[in-house]
């Protein structure tokens, strides 16, 4: 029984990189379903890739997660595979996989993919997605290799973490940051509804949102439809985090927010 | 025996929205093939989405059509499933599905997807594609739920229609509009070859094409290759409608046409 | 046993063209895996499409390759299918398929797809990807038609070749051209490491790279990580060709290179 493979990268779709990885998966795991999580991660943006995987993982079929956002390809960063209760995670040891691994319960075992027999021989050293990670993912999914056959064991505790910023909660205010702007301009923050509650801010309140020197007001509502067209709102987004939106508009522009921008919420 | 699921949305591919929906489908309908019709519909453009689905539906495998262009998510617009002879259609009740449903013979039954047991629980109210529509589509495709178990029956006659403009035919001329500009700049109109015939215009004729105050001439030919490089033409496109093109060029720019622009054809 | 189908085109993903072709494949070859090699080939750029297919083919599952970059659709260019030891190639006879066919050992047989029974009837003449090529590919993959039933035999020797420029090697220098700029700005050339070796240039050397009137220096190293951030390099890329890169930057901009630009390498 073949496992599903869920594949995320920063390869984009203009070139054939994604297709070639699918080709390798199709050759080595012909019975596996392959799901493209997204290939639109900004070039080399490991943190954005790790957050996308974190948001997606609980909705993916159990099996293998193949993540390739790998600005360090061709350096000494390690290619790794991680065993969890959810299944296997394969990719570079740069923090890309860490938040998703943590959310599914953590790693039970890890290996460095250094067994030359599970790699595709290649003259170049720039496409480990094709030559190292895809074969490892496919062999795990198809049962063509055992986890421990991929290479040398490594202590999961020494794998590179992804340090995600925590919000600061005080009486009446929470300071956090924007950590995802989607293609609609909606802005997810690292602030949870519990953080706002701890500061005394509740659904239904009006909230002052401060970005840099600019403050704007928005109500905390349940959904876009609770405000008029063109107006801003705070809400709990589909991943359970506090997000800023503008109904039929772009909150990133309205509030002046990009990924990583600091944002402060104060009860009005 | 699992049915195929054909999925259209305005989610784009920059974020992981499409991948997450594929994840849900993969979990609940692991044996179903999933076809991405397109995810490039302009944000919230229900009419453009409905036309893309209308053009595509006759070429899709019978089974389930999942359509999510849903500017009203989080309002009281209804999530619906429709039964037809082709199979099932799942999406918001905003006219997105109506033209495709009509072209495959109309609805035999419809339900509001309001059974909480077929939804994925979520704190947010902004991703019904993942939480409501994908599970319903997957359960229909896999046989995991019966149509009537998705929720409350609703009279198909009260579902939101998609009002598509009809061309006006008079002696020697037809007035219509551009309703699709593809990525190559080809422009499909809502005018059929029969409309032109009724106005006395035939293949082989030269036609005056008027957009706003500007008139340009083009021959009605069979294919791009019937005119020289860079020259304009009228032809019956691959969906049987009158379209404007420029060989190896962009008709939208040449004629000054965008989606919804009025256009008039007069025999030269 | 159904074969895999690998599909490359210049359709882009904004419209439903790719989805409709998947629909036809799903109807006629329901058990075939379909791999999207890429649909990001520039509009009508047959050479770029042929190079993408050439790079990808050795990594694709054996089966059917469906290639549609077809600026001559609606002219008298022939729709063809080619039999090879790898499997079948289906597309227009314009040189798109030729390099990939050659690299897998050449054509054993070829046919013009002119049997009306294997085409989808259509009023228009502009979407052979849907009406001619997809059905042929699906029927070959599913075994629904024999190769010789697709149409009239044609001598493989008369098929349109893709003439790829050869580099010129002299003592101490090699003149070639850029033939692929990927989305990261990396530039692959038509120069092989053997060409540089024949000119007396070896890995580890510093090389003068001349584009137009501008010369810049870069070391020939193994991987990006061998130079500092922002610095240029020559290396053997993942397809075995000499490529120019800038670590965490864009080599196309740094060197002033686009697809087809002449470039000269001289030992420093």
Say what the ipTM of the complex is.
0.96
Looking up residue A200, the CATH number of its domain turns out to be 2.40.30.90
Single out the residue of A162, A193, A161, A164 nearest to residue A260, CA to CA.
Answer: A164
Q: Do A71 and C236 touch (CB under 8 A)?
A: no
Same domain, A30 and A68: yes
Q: Which residues of A222-232 are buried (b: 16+ CB within 10 A; e: fewer)?
A: bbbbbbeeebb
Distances (CA, A) of B118 to A133, B131, B133, B139, B231: 36, 9, 9, 8, 54
Residue in B23, B73, B123 nearest the CB of A224: B73
Taking CB atoms and an 8 Å limit, are C23 and B37 in contact across chains? yes
Residue A112 belongs to a domain: yes
pLDDT tens-digit profile of A7-39? 999 999 999 999 999 999 999 999 999 999 999
- pLDDT recorded at residue C230: 95
Closest CA to C58 of C97, C103, C102, C99: C103
State the Cα–Cα distance between residues A265 and A254, nearest whole angstrom: 15
**Residue A253 in this model has a pLDDT that exceeds 80:** yes
Size of interface B-C (CB pairs under 8 A): 104
| C153 in contact with chain B, both atoms CB, cutoff 8 A | no
SS3 A122: coil
**CA distance linking residue B218 with residue B245, whole number of Å:** 9
The residues, any chain, with a CB within 8 Å of residue C91's CB and separated by 6 or more, are C65, C66, C67, C68, C69, C70, C79, C80, C97, C133
Closest-CA distance, B202 to chain A, in angstroms, reads: 41
Q: Which residues of chain C does B184 touch, with a Cβ-Cβ cutoff of 8 Å?
A: 43
Phi, psi of C238 (to 5 degrees): -70, -5
Show contacts of B100-106: CB within 8 Å, 24+ apart.
B100/B50, B100/B53, B100/B54, B100/B56, B100/B57, B100/B65, B100/B67, B103/B54, B103/B57, B103/B58, B104/B57, B104/B58, B106/B156
**How far is the first Cα of chain B from the last one, in angstroms, to the nearest whole number?**
56
Residues C179 and C203 in one domain: yes
Q: What is the model's pLDDT at position B225?
A: 87
C59 in reach of chain A (CB within 8 A): yes
Q: Which residue of B has its CA nearest to A50?
A: B16
In a domain, C163, yes or no: no
Q: Which two tokens stand for residue C116?
A: 């009306």
Instruction: Give the whole-angstrom CA distance, residue A235 versus residue C175.
Output: 60
Q: Shortest Cα distance from C17 to chain B (angstroms)?
A: 8
| Residue after which a domain boundary falls, among A139, A158, A177 | A158
Which residues of chain C are modeled with pLDDT < 70?
A: none
Structural domain includes residue B21: yes
Chain A CA closest to residue B14: A40
Both tokens assigned to C111: 């046919």
Residue C13 with chain B: CB contacts under 8 Å: 13, 38-40
CA nearest B247 in C: which residue? C71
**Residue A249 at interface with chain B, using a CB cutoff of 8 Å:** no
A150: left (phi over 0), alpha (psi -120 to 50) or beta: alpha
**Among candidate residues C103, C127, C158, the one where a domain is terminated:** C158
**Do B94 and B210 fall into the same domain?**
no
Burial B176-215 (b: 16+ CB within 10 A, else e): bbbbbbbebbbbbbbbbbebbeebebeeeeebebbbeeee
Q: How far apart are the C-alpha atoms of B146 and B109, rounded to whole Å?
A: 12
Of A33, A182, A225, the CB nearest to B72: A225
d(CA C70, CA C87): 21
Using a CB-CB distance cutoff of 8 angstroms, which residues of chain B are in contact with residue C71? 248
Does any CB of chain C come closer than 8 Å to the CB of residue B10? no
Nearest-neighbour CA in chain A from B226: distance (Å): 31
Is the distance from CB of A37 to CB of A28 less than 8 angstroms? no
The string of pLDDT tens digits covering residues A139-176 is 999 999 999 999 999 999 999 999 999 999 999 999 99
Is residue A15 included in any domain, yes or no? Answer: yes
Whether B219 and B261 map to the same domain: the answer is yes
Question: Cβ(C4)–Cβ(C64) under 8 Å?
Answer: yes
Check residue A219 and give its pLDDT: 97
- The model's pLDDT over C62-89, given as tens digits with 9 standing for 90+, comes to 999 999 999 988 888 999 999 999 999 9
Contact B223 C73 (CB under 8 A): yes
Same domain, B118 and B13: yes
User: From B53, which residue of chain C is nearest by alpha-carbon distance?
Assistant: C16
SS3 A21: helix
Q: Give A74's contacts in chain C (Cβ within 8 Å).
A: 222-226
Task: Assess whether C186 and C254 both reside in one domain.
Answer: yes
For residue B217, the tally of other CB atoms under 10 A from its CB is 11
**A242, part of any domain:** yes
User: Token match 């609940």: residue?
Assistant: B28
Closest CB from A4, A13, A56 relative to B16: A56
Closest-CA residue in chain C for B249? C43
| Distance between CA atoms of residues A261 and C131, nearest Å | 50
**Residue A132 confidence class, pLDDT cut points 50, 70, 90:** very high
Report the chain A residue with the minimal C-alpha distance to residue C41: A14
Q: Are residues A59 and A85 in the same domain?
A: yes
The answer as to whether B163 is a domain residue is: no
Instruction: From residue A259, give the alpha-carbon distance in Å to each of A252, B230, B247.
Output: 9, 44, 43
Q: Give me the pLDDT at residue A268, please.
A: 84
- DSSP per-residue codes, C141-171: HHTSS-GGGSSEE--GGGSPP--PPPPEEET
Q: Is A223's Cβ below 8 Å from some Cβ in B?
A: yes
| pLDDT category of residue A74 using cuts at 50, 70 and 90 | confident
Tell me the HSE value of A190 on the side-chain side, using a 13 A CA sphere.
20
Q: What is the CATH number of the domain that holds C32?
A: 3.40.50.10790
Beta-sheet pairing, C187-189 with A242-246: unpaired
Residue with tokens 């196309």: C252
Instruction: For A157-261, list the strands marked E by DSSP.
Output: 168-170, 173-181, 187-189, 206-211, 214-219, 232-236, 242-246
Contacts of A226 in chain B (CB under 8 A): 74
**Interface with chain A: mutation pick from C4, C6, C35, C141, highest number of A CBs within 10 Å:** C35
Indicate whether B79 belongs to any domain: yes
Residue C124's pLDDT is: 81
What's the predicted TM-score (pTM) here? 0.96
- Site of tokens 């599952």: C61
* Residue to substitute from B33, B238, B249, interface C, most C β-carbons within 10 A: B238
> Residue B225: which of C14, C74, C123 has the nearest Cβ?
C74
Residues in Cβ contact with A106 at an 8 Å cutoff, skipping those fewer than 6 apart: A84, A156
The 10 Å Cβ neighbour count of residue A138 is 28
Same domain, C19 and C149: yes
- Please report all neighbours of C, defined by 3+ CB atom pairs within 8 A: A, B
Confidence of residue A124 (pLDDT cuts 50, 70, 90): confident
Please count the other Cβ atoms lying within 10 Å of the Cβ belonging to residue A239. 20
Query: B266: which 2 tokens?
Result: 């007069």
**What is the residue range of B121's domain?**
4-158
Q: Provide the pairing of β-strand A4-9 with A34-38.
A: parallel
Q: Do A19 and C56 lie within an 8 Å CB cutoff?
A: yes
**Same domain? B148 vs B172:** no
pLDDT at position C103? 96
Greatest alpha-carbon pair distance for chain B in Å reads 62
Is B124 close to A38, i.e. CB distance below 8 A? no
Beta strand spans in chain A (E): 4-9, 34-38, 63-68, 79-83, 87-92, 109-112, 152-153, 168-170, 173-181, 187-189, 206-211, 214-219, 232-236, 242-246, 262-267
Contact between chains at A73 and C223 (C-beta distance less than 8 A): yes
Q: How far is C232 from chain A (nearest CA, A)?
A: 15
pLDDT of residue B125: 79
- Is C13 touching A (CB cutoff 8 A)? yes
Q: How many structural domains compose chain C?
A: 2
Contacts of B81 by beta carbon, 8 Å cutoff, 6+ apart: B88, B89, B90, B110, B111, B113, B136, B140, B147, B150, B151
* Beta-carbon separation of C13 and B39 below 8 A: yes
Q: Characterize the bridge pairing of strands B34-38 and B4-9.
A: parallel
Taking a C-beta distance cutoff of 8 angstroms, is the pair A93, A69 a contact? no
B73-130 pLDDT tens trace = 888 899 999 999 999 999 999 999 999 999 999 999 999 999 999 999 988 878 999 9
Q: Cβ of A1 under 8 Å from any chain B Cβ?
A: no
A58 phi and psi angles, rounded to 5 deg: -70, -15
User: Do A118 and A140 fall within a single domain?
Assistant: yes
**Neighboring chains of A (3 or more beta-carbon pairs < 8 A):** B, C
Residues C33 and C111 in one domain: yes
Bridge partners for B80 per DSSP: B91, B112
Using the beta-carbon criterion (under 8 Å), do A223 and B74 form an inter-chain contact?
yes
Strands (E), B84-141: 87-92, 109-112
Cβ neighbours, 10 Å, residue B48: 20
Q: Which of B118, B136, B158 is the last residue of a domain?
A: B158
Same domain, B19 and B136: yes
Structural domain includes residue B213? yes
- Give chain B's residues under pLDDT 70: 1
């Amino acid at each position: 029984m073949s496992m599903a493979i869920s594949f995320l990268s920063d390869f984009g779709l203009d070139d054939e990189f994604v297709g070639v990885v699918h080709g390798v998966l199709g050759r080595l795991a012909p019975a596996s379903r392959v799901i493209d999580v997204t290939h639109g991660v900004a070039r080399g943006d490991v943190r954005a890739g790790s957050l996308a995987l974190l948001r997606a993982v609980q909705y993916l079929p159990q099996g293998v997660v193949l993540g390739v956002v790998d600005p360090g390809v061709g350096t000494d960063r390690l290619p790794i595979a991680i065993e969890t209760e959810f299944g296997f995670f394969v990719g570079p040891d740069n923090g890309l996989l860490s938040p998703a691994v943590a959310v599914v319960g953590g790693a039970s075992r890890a290996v460095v993919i250094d067994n030359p027999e599970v790699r595709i021989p290649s003259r170049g050293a720039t496409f480990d997605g094709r030559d190292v990670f895809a074969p490892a993912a496919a062999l795990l999914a198809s049962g063509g290799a055992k986890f421990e056959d991929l290479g040398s064991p490594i202590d999961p505790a020494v794998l590179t973490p992804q340090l995600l910023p925590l919000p600061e909660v005080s009486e009446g205010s929470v300071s956090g940051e924007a950590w995802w702007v989607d293609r609609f301009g909606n802005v997810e923050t690292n602030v949870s509804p519990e953080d706002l509650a701890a500061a005394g801010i509740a659904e239904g309140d009006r909230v002052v949102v401060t970005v840099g020197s600019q403050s704007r007001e928005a109500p905390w509502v349940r959904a876009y439809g609770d405000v008029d067209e063109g107006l801003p709102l705070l809400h709990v987004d589909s991943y359970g985090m506090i997000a800023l939106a503008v109904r039929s508009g772009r909150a990133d522009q309205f509030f002046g927010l990009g990924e990583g921008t600091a944002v402060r919420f104060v009860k009005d």
